[in-house]
Amino acid sequence: MKKRHANLLLLIALVVLPMALLGWQAWRLLTSESDVQQARYDQLVEARLQQVDLTIQRYLESLANDWQQRLPSWPLDPRGVRTRLADEIRVRHLFLLGPDNQRLFPADPLSSDEQAFVERLEAIWRDPSLLQGNRPASESDTVASRAPALSNVFRKSARETAGIAPESGWYMWHWGAGTRLIFWWKSPGGETIGLALEPARLKSDLIGILPEDDSADYSIRLRDAAGQEIYRWGSYELEPGEQYHQYPLSYPLSSWALEYAGTPPTAAAAGFGLLLLLASLGLVLIGLALYLYREQTRELREAARKVEFVGQVSHELKTPLTNIRMYAELLDEQLEDEPQQRNYLGIIISESQRLGRLIGNVLTFSRTPTLHLTEVDIDGLVRQTLDHFLPGFRARGLEVRTDLQAGISINSDADMLEQILNNLLSNVEKYASGGGTVEVATSVADGHLLVSVRDHGAGIPAAERRKIFEPFYRIDNSLTEGVSGTGIGLTIARQQAGRLGGELLVSDARPGARFTLKLPLDRGETP
Amino acid sequence: MKKDPFTLLIILFLTSLLALPAQARQIELSAELGTPVVEAGRAHKTFLKISLTGFELSGLKERTPANVALVLDESGSMTGEKLEEAKEAALLAVDLLNEDDILSIISYDSHVKVLVPATRVADKSDIRRAIRAMKAGGQTALFAGVSKGAREVRKFIDKERVNRIILLSDGQANVGPSTTTELGELGMSLGKEGISVTTIGLGAGYNEDLMANLAGYSDGNHAFVENPEDLVKIFNYEFGDVLSVVAQDLLIRIEFEDGIRPLRILGRNGEIIGREVTTRMNQLYSDQEKYVLLEVEVPEGTPDQTRDLANVTVSYQNMANRQQEDVHDKVTVSYSTSGEDVAKSRNREVVTTATKQVANEMSKQAVKLRDEGKREEAQSLLNSSADFVRSQGAMLGGEEKEELEAFSAEVESDADAITLDEEWDRTRKAIRAKQYRQDTQQNY
């Protein structure tokens, strides 16, 4: 039974171990794959937002280019610029500064709207050089530096930063919660024109150039300096607690930002294939294990059937054998004066006894016997058992010496004890009759009952001492040659000793061997 | 080469035939004072009305091609009848336009969708299919909707077309820029570009100030539609206007003579810089009058003196002959000692207009007071406005008396409604739309 469990465990291990190993490898592959995908995704997001930023930059650039071309032809006097203002659809206000930085427009009389504008830009009138100072703090603030491949759009501004005094540029200022942009241009004559963009129009134009994509994969928002959303596209719904990824815009709208959220990359596709592979591999392994397990259990079942058959046959042999013995013994009693016939009958009886023991062994081996506990007088049992063997021993010239010191009765199974002794004595008869003497002793020591059988035969080599208790094992040497045996005697003896709560030990006795049955007294001793 | 007299006569007749309608094909400008004769010896405040009337279109063939973007609300609140009626109205627009016209259709909820990019109205079935596929849901990205509409209009923007966005909304703008100021600024910029935004508010949930501001600064129309089933009718009116534009891009410049002080412009946006006043109108419709009303201060004068008051120049794009044209007018004021002269010369029409316009300013003030929670003050302001209108009517007598009596009665009913809590949302929208109509002389 134990062996079957072990086999099952082995088979399970055969399946589980490679699966676990493969699974671990697959997991490692997947995590590294998802890292790669995450990096790729981040790059994609970055590129996408950069593209949007660039679109916005291009728009501002095109406005700047347009004004750079048209402004030189403007009449640079208050009346002239006022008429031009009416046509500038993106400009809410403008100002004109003379070469001495004197404000020429708006100048009195001011409309109420102009009055507010003039008040808000007080700082510029005091120090017009502020316009030029309001530039990106470093190159890192422009799209050009963020995406070197796209830098040609910004080559000009780069040249401007390298030069001394730029002739035009953006000026960013804040009024209330809003970002306001002024495009300024300095004429060769030294006048400065500043065009203040209509903030709502700027937002509207940006919305116009941004996509109206409805993809469910992401959501992008453009928000202004105050954090107010201006426009969004993509219909991805954020998970609760999920945050937008922030991406500030380039100068001059650097206080604005793009916000991104989207479906995170999943290794699902790759993972699914791998999972499928693992699952099919697992199935193959399980199938193989099941096949092996069935093959093995089939052999075991067959063996069990054979044992069962032998047991059955042995059982059937028991009744006729008992009859043979009984009638032989009856005959023996009646033939008092026929020494020759009685001699023959003695042989029949002892042989049938031997056969009975043999069958008893087979039955014990094939079927687990149940214990029948009774009061057993140990010394009496030993004597009684020895009596059966005496004719055989005598025939082989074996002298029996007994030293029965136990003198107690124990609560045990008499049949089993007898069977153990039978097997031990039968072995002595078969293999150690050359030693001339067999010593049988009983004693009580350390709370144990000891029954020992010692022969003076060839002994058992140390290497074999463990193996002799294995079923069907027979020592392969001159000793066993020509002697028939089943190889289960000692096995059964040891098993029976175990069932009785004791043990059967073998020790070297030089010459010969000593088998000692050791039974605990506390298990069933009666005084 | 000698031509016989008969041929010459025919040529003369034909040229006169051609020239006659050409002369009539100009907008009519008249600048008039409420009191062209004032009492001598003291300064006066009076009203100057600059009235512009579009000429009549002679036939359908002649009409100006339109470039229209329909920007339709499909936010969650539009679900049901509102959206169905909006679709009907949009389908009507498709019916009214032909292949000379450009149409684009934009829908917006939290996101903006361009259902039909700007295209000639040739394949109507495709456009109808796009309209019918609209579904309601989400928030109201009104600013973005208008911005995308403007982009679509801009693709075909042309002085020789009527460039217009028609915005329909039933709710508060809640995605993107959504203040009254921002929408006004957007309207102003679009107006400069020649794009008018007509705003149609549906039901009692929209922000009437925002919608009126967007329309006002871009010189479009504004309407309050209480029942969705009226939507088709309103679209019909709106397209009636769109398809009857005879002049566009009107710049009205009024230069006052020395000593004359322009005080304010009533009902319209404009700039007063010193003695010069400029204002704009995006379009003038066939056979409709629009005006600019100014209050001016006239200095004291001597009896029988006549002095120049102002020169008015209107430059515009004539849609019939596709020419840039100017019209001029001149205003003078006379002084007299005779009260009879003053009364006799009074321009009854200008006084009526000015009375209504003043009452309209008071109505705006009353709504402001009501917004601040000062109901009693708002009501008494409207009541005094009604009394003022009635007294002006009594002074004028005749037809004008009846007209002003009716107007006064309307102001009184507003005065009753303004203190009431129930339906204030609805009432405010109705009053706001009425003010808007008065300010812009809207047709419907």
Read off the pLDDT of residues B335-377 as tens digits, 9 standing for 90 and up.
999 889 999 999 999 999 999 999 999 999 999 999 999 999 9
Q: Which residues of A touch B192 (CB under 8 A)?
A: 86-89
Question: Measured between alpha carbons, how far is A36 from A469 in angstroms, rounded to an integer?
Answer: 63
How many Å is the maximal CA-CA distance in chain A?
169
Tell me the C-alpha to C-alpha distance, in Å, between residue A421 and each of A452, B77, B274. 9, 102, 140
B30-34 long-range CB contacts below 8 Å, 24 or more apart?
B30/B329, B31/B254, B31/B310, B31/B312, B31/B329, B31/B330, B31/B331, B32/B331, B32/B347, B32/B349, B32/B350, B33/B309, B33/B331, B33/B333, B33/B347, B33/B350, B34/B346, B34/B347, B34/B350, B34/B351, B34/B354
**Minimal Cβ distance to A111: which of B175, B251, B272:** B272
Q: Is the pLDDT of residue A261 over 80?
A: yes
Q: In a mutagenesis test of the A interface, which of B113, B165, B182 is the best target, namely the one with the most A β-carbons within 10 Å?
A: B182
Q: Give the pLDDT of residue B10.
A: 62
Higher pLDDT pick, B408 / A309 = B408
Smallest CA–CA distance, residue B409 to chain A, in Å, is 36
Question: Measured between alpha carbons, how far is A196 from A179 in angstroms, rounded to an integer?
Answer: 11
Confidence of residue B7 (pLDDT cuts 50, 70, 90): low
Smallest CA–CA distance, residue A169 to chain B, in Å, is 22
**Which helix (H) or strand (E) segment is B48 a member of?**
strand B44-53
A210 in Cβ contact with A233 (< 8 Å): yes
**Minimal Cβ distance to A200: which of B182, B193, B271:** B182
Smallest CA–CA distance, residue B216 to chain A, in Å, is 16
B253 bridge partner residues: B278, B313
- Whether the ω angle into residue A461 lies within 30 degrees of 0, i.e. cis, is no
Q: Give me chain A's average pLDDT, please.
A: 84
Q: Is the pLDDT of residue A389 over 90?
A: no
**Minimal Cβ distance to A212: which of B148, B184, B189:** B148
Q: Which backbone phi and psi does B387 adopt, to 5 degrees? A: -60, -40
Closest to A192 (Cα-Cα) out of A130, A260, A108? A130
Q: Which residues of A touch B273 (CB under 8 A)?
A: 109-111
Instruction: Mark residue B79 as left, alpha or beta (left: phi above 0; alpha: psi -120 to 50; beta: remaining).
Output: beta
Q: Is the pLDDT of residue B217 over 80?
A: yes
What is the dihedral sign for C-alpha A16, A22, A25, A26? negative
Q: Give the pLDDT of residue B229.
A: 92
Residues of chain A contacting B, Cβ within 8 Å = 86-90, 92, 109-111, 113, 198-201, 203-205, 207-209, 212, 214, 228-233, 235
- How many CB atoms are located within 10 Å of the residue A499 CB? 15
B271 touches chain A (CB under 8 A): yes
Closest to A260 (Cα-Cα) out of A195, A215, A326? A215
A342-350 long-range CB contacts below 8 Å, 24 or more apart?
A346/A391, A348/A324, A349/A325, A350/A388, A350/A391, A350/A392
B314 bridge partner residues: B252, B327
**Minimal Cβ distance to B150: which of A87, A208, A233:** A208
Higher pLDDT pick, B270 / B62 = B270
**Minimal Cβ distance to A233: which of B111, B154, B192:** B111
Question: Measured between alpha carbons, how far is A24 from B347 in angstroms, rounded to an integer?
Answer: 98
Average pLDDT over residues B145-174: 94
Question: Measured between alpha carbons, how far is B144 from B169 in angstroms, rounded to an integer?
Answer: 13
Yes or no, beta carbons of A228 and B151 under 8 Å apart: no
Length of chain A in terms of residues written? 527
Query: What residue of A is the nearest CA neighbor of B189?
Result: A89
Higher pLDDT pick, A248 / A179 = A248
B301 touches chain A (CB under 8 A): no
**Which helix (H) or strand (E) segment is A503 a member of?**
strand A503-508
**Minimal Cβ distance to A200: which of B175, B189, B251:** B189
Q: What percent of chain B has pLDDT over 90?
A: 84
B193 touches chain A (CB under 8 A): yes
Q: Is the pLDDT of residue A158 over 80?
A: no
Beginning with the edge strand found earlier in the chain, give each strand of the sheet holding A229-233 in spatial order: A229-233, A218-223, A257-262, A245-248
Question: Measured between alpha carbons, how far is A231 from A257 in angstroms, rounded to an integer?
Answer: 11
B261 touches chain A (CB under 8 A): no
B252 touches chain A (CB under 8 A): no
- If you ran DSSP here, which 8-state letter would residue A71 be given? G
Q: Give the pLDDT of residue A248.
A: 92
Q: Which residues of A touch B163 (CB under 8 A)?
A: none
Confidence of residue B29 (pLDDT cuts 50, 70, 90): very high
B18 touches chain A (CB under 8 A): no
Higher pLDDT pick, B68 / A413 = B68
Q: Give the pLDDT of residue B81.
A: 93
What is the dihedral sign for C-alpha A243, A244, A245, A251? negative
Residue A519 DSSP SS3: strand
Higher pLDDT pick, A369 / A164 = A369
Question: Measured between alpha carbons, how far is A371 from A358 in angstroms, rounded to an integer?
Answer: 19
Name the token pair of A208: 């116009």
Yes or no, beta carbons of B114 and A212 under 8 Å apart: yes
Chain B, residues 331-360, CB within 8 A of chain A, namely: none
Confidence of residue A523 (pLDDT cuts 50, 70, 90): low
B143 touches chain A (CB under 8 A): yes
**Minimal Cβ distance to A199: which of B185, B192, B273:** B185
Give the range among A82-96, A480-494, B1-15, B211-225 with minimum mean pLDDT.
B1-15
Average pLDDT over residues A262-272: 69
Average pLDDT over residues B269-278: 90
Q: Which residues of A touch B137 (CB under 8 A)?
A: none
Question: Measured between alpha carbons, how far is A244 from A52 in angstroms, rounded to an integer?
Answer: 16
Q: Name residue, tokens 């050089």.
A: A129
How far the first Cα of chain B sits from its last, in Å, is: 59
Q: Give the pLDDT of residue A163.
A: 47
Closest to B279 (Cα-Cα) out of B316, B309, B250, B248? B250
Q: Is the pLDDT of residue A203 over 90?
A: yes
Name the token pair of A127: 């120090």
Confidence of residue A5 (pLDDT cuts 50, 70, 90): confident
Per-residue b or e along A105-118, where b marks 16 or more CB atoms closer than 10 Å to that residue's CB: bbeeebeeebeebb
Yes or no, beta carbons of B177 and A109 under 8 Å apart: no
Q: Give the pLDDT of residue B75.
A: 93
Q: Which backbone phi and psi does A221 adopt, to 5 degrees? A: -125, 145
Q: In A315-384, at which residue ranges do the beta strands (DSSP E only) sit?
A: 374-377
B147 touches chain A (CB under 8 A): yes
Smallest CA–CA distance, residue B183 to chain A, in Å, is 7
pLDDT in tens, A112-152: 888 889 999 998 998 888 888 766 555 444 554 454 444 34
How far the first Cα of chain A sits from its last, in Å, is: 38
Contacts of A93 (CB under 8 A, 6+ apart): A85, A106, A113, A114, A117, A196
Chain B, residues 212-251, CB within 8 A of chain A, namely: 251
Question: Measured between alpha carbons, how far is A175 from B40 in angstroms, rounded to an integer?
Answer: 50
Yes or no, beta carbons of A201 and B111 under 8 Å apart: no
